[in-house]
Structure 1
Amino acid sequence: MLAIEGLRAGYGETEVLRGVDLTVDAGEIVTVLGSNGVGKSTLNRALSGILRAKTGTIRFDGAAIEREKPPAIVERGLIHVPEGRRVFPNLTVRENLDLGSYARGKPRRAQNRERVFTIFPRLRERMTQRAGTLSGGEQQMLAIGRGLMAEPKLLILDEPSLGLSPLLVEELFALIKRIHADGVAVMLVEQNVVQSLEVADRAYILAEGQFVMSGPAADIAADPELKRTYLGL
C-alpha cells in the first residue's frame, strides 16, 4: 500500500531524513519508533505532502505521490492525524467530525459518523460539546475519529499517546487495535515503545534520520541491545 525508497527531506539546508526505505502492506499495523528529534514528524509531513521530499520516491496505492499536494493525497485515502490533536476548539464534536469528511467520504458522512461513535462512545455523549472543553484523551479520540471520517486506506497516527495518562494510553492502544480490526492499515509513529510493539506487525527504528533496524515487532521487542542502544531503555 505504501512504499518509500531513498527518501531525503529536511528544512532549508538541514537534511533530516537521510535516505529512508519503508513499506506498509494492506491490513498491517507498522510502527515507527524513535526519540524526539530523529525525524519522525518530518517523515509524516513528507508523506502527507506538507513537506516536499528532496529526493526519493513515495508510492501510495500504486501511484507516485511525492510531488502531489496535501489535498490530492487526502483524496487518495492517506490520512494523517498529526501530533498535538489539532482539534477546532470552538466547534462542537460533531462539527469537528464532519470536517473530517470535507475532502473524502462526504456521501457517507452519516454512516461514518455513526461508525466513529461506535468506536468512541464518549464522543457520542459529547456530540454537542465544544472540542476545546474536552479532556486530553477525549480530544485525541476526536482527532482520530475525524481522520476516520475520511475513510482512510492508511491512517498515520503521529504520537497519539503523547501527554495521556497511563490508563488512557492503555485504552487508546486498544482502540487502535479495534480500528485495525475494521480493515484500516495503520502507521503508528510513536515514542511509546512497549505498547507500540505489542500492537504492531512490523517495526522500524529511526535514529538520526535513518532507519537503523526493521523487522517483525516481536523480534524487535525481544532485542535488548536494540532497546539499550537506540531507544535508551
Structure 2
Amino acid sequence: MLEIRGLRAGYGSVEILRGIDLDVGQGEIVAVLGSNGVGKSTLNNNISALYRPFSGSIRFKGEELVGRSSTDIVKRGVIHVPEGRRIFPNLNVLENLELGSLVRGTARRKQNIEHVVSIFPRLKERFTQLAGTLSGGEQQMVAIGRGLMSEPELLIMDEPSLGLSPLLVEEMFALIQKINREGQSILLMEQNAVQTLAIANRAYIIENGHVAMQGKATDLIHDPDLRKNYLGL
C-alpha cells in the first residue's frame, strides 16, 4: 500500500531523514522503532503532508503523495494519529470523535461511532465528558477512535503507548492488535521495542536518519545486535 523510496526530510536546513526506504502491505502492522530524535515523527509528518520532503518518493496505492495537501492525504485514507494525542480538551468525547469524520467518513458517521465504541466500550460511558478530563489512556482511545472515524485505509500511529502506565500499555497494544485483526493496515511508530515487535509483522529500526535494520519482527526480536543495542538484553 505504502512505498517510500529515498526519503530525505527535515526542518529548515536540518536534515533528519537521510534516505529512507520503507513499505507497508495490505493488512500488516509495520513498526518503525528508534529512540527519541531519530526521525519517527518527521517520517509521519512528511507522509501526512504536514511538511514537504527535501527529496524522495511517497506513494500510496501507486499514487504519489508528495506535493499533495494534508486534506488530500486524508481523503485518500491515510490517517495520522499523532504523538501526544492532540485531542480537543474543551470538547466532549463524542464531539472529538465526530470531528474525525469531518473530511472522510461523514456519510457513515453513526455506524463508525458504533464501530469505535465496539473497540473502546469505555468511550461510550464518556460521550458527554470533556476530553481534557479523561485519563491518559482514555485520551489515547479518543485519539485512535477519532482516526478510525475517518475510515482509514492506512492508520499511522505515533507513540500510542507514550506516557501510559505499564498496565495501560499492555491494554493499548492488545487494542492495536484487535484493530489490525479487523483488516486494518497500521504503520506503528514506537520506542517500546519489545511489545511492538511482539505484535508487528515487520519492523524497521531507524538510527541517525537511516534504516539500520529491517525484517520480520519475529526475526528481529531474536537478533543479537538488536537485543544488545536496542533492547538492552
Structure 2 length-normalised TM? 0.98
Number of the residue aligned with 1:21: 21
Q: Tell me if the contact between 1:19 and 1:210 (Cα under 8 Å) persists in the aligned partners.
A: yes
Q: Tell me if the contact between 2:93 and 2:131 (Cα under 8 Å) persists in the aligned partners.
A: yes
**C-alpha distance in structure 1 between counterparts of 2:146 and 2:86, whole Å:** 11
- Inter-CA distance 232–16: structure 2 relative to 1 (3 Å threshold): farther
Give 1:231 deviation, angstroms: 5.2
- Inter-CA distance 92–99: structure 2 relative to 1 (3 Å threshold): same
Give 1:61 deviation, angstroms: 1.5
Number of the residue aligned with 1:114: 114
Identity %: 64
Q: Tell me if the contact between 2:20 and 2:211 (Cα under 8 Å) persists in the aligned partners.
A: yes
Give 1:232 deviation, angstroms: 5.0
Q: Tell me if the contact between 2:194 and 2:231 (Cα under 8 Å) persists in the aligned partners.
A: no
**C-alpha distance in structure 2 between counterparts of 1:226 and 1:170, whole Å:** 22
Instruction: Give 3-state SS (helix, strand or coil) of 1:6's partner.
Output: strand
Instruction: Give 3-state SS (helix, strand or coil) of 1:118's partner.
Output: helix
Aligned length: 233
Q: Tell me if the contact between 1:32 and 1:188 (Cα under 8 Å) persists in the aligned partners.
A: yes
**C-alpha distance in structure 1 between counterparts of 2:230 and 2:15, whole Å:** 20
Number of the residue aligned with 1:104: 104
Whichever residue aligns with residue 9 of structure 2, its letter is A
**C-alpha distance in structure 1 between counterparts of 2:230 and 2:58, whole Å:** 26
Q: Tell me if the contact between 1:34 and 1:231 (Cα under 8 Å) persists in the aligned partners.
A: no
Is there any run of 5+ residues in structure 2 with no aligned partner, and where? none
Indicate the RMSD between aligned Cα atoms, in angstroms: 0.8
Number of the residue aligned with 2:57: 57
Give 1:228 deviation, angstroms: 2.0
Post-superposition CA distance 1:161-190 (Å, at most 9, x none): 000001000000000011001111001100
**C-alpha distance in structure 2 between counterparts of 1:125 and 1:226, whole Å:** 42
Q: Tell me if the contact between 1:207 and 1:230 (Cα under 8 Å) persists in the aligned partners.
A: no
The correspondence of residues 150-165 of structure 1 with structure 2, limited to 5 A, is 150-165=150-165
Give 1:224 deviation, angstroms: 2.3
**C-alpha distance in structure 1 between counterparts of 2:30 and 2:86, whole Å:** 23
Is there any run of 5+ residues in structure 1 with no aligned partner, and where? none
**In the alignment, is residue 48 of structure 1 matched against residue 48 of structure 2?**
yes
Give 1:229 deviation, angstroms: 2.6
Number of the residue aligned with 2:68: 68
Whichever residue aligns with residue 20 of structure 1, its letter is I
Post-superposition CA distance 1:112-141 (Å, at most 9, x none): 000000000000010111100000000000
Post-superposition CA distance 1:58-112 (Å, at most 9, x none): 0012210011110000000000000000010010100000000000000000000
**C-alpha distance in structure 1 between counterparts of 2:9 and 2:87, whole Å:** 27
**C-alpha distance in structure 2 between counterparts of 1:14 and 1:103, whole Å:** 32
Q: Tell me if the contact between 1:35 and 1:231 (Cα under 8 Å) persists in the aligned partners.
A: no
The correspondence of residues 159-174 of structure 1 with structure 2, limited to 5 A, is 159-174=159-174
Q: Tell me if the contact between 1:3 and 1:58 (Cα under 8 Å) persists in the aligned partners.
A: yes
- Inter-CA distance 96–173: structure 2 relative to 1 (3 Å threshold): same
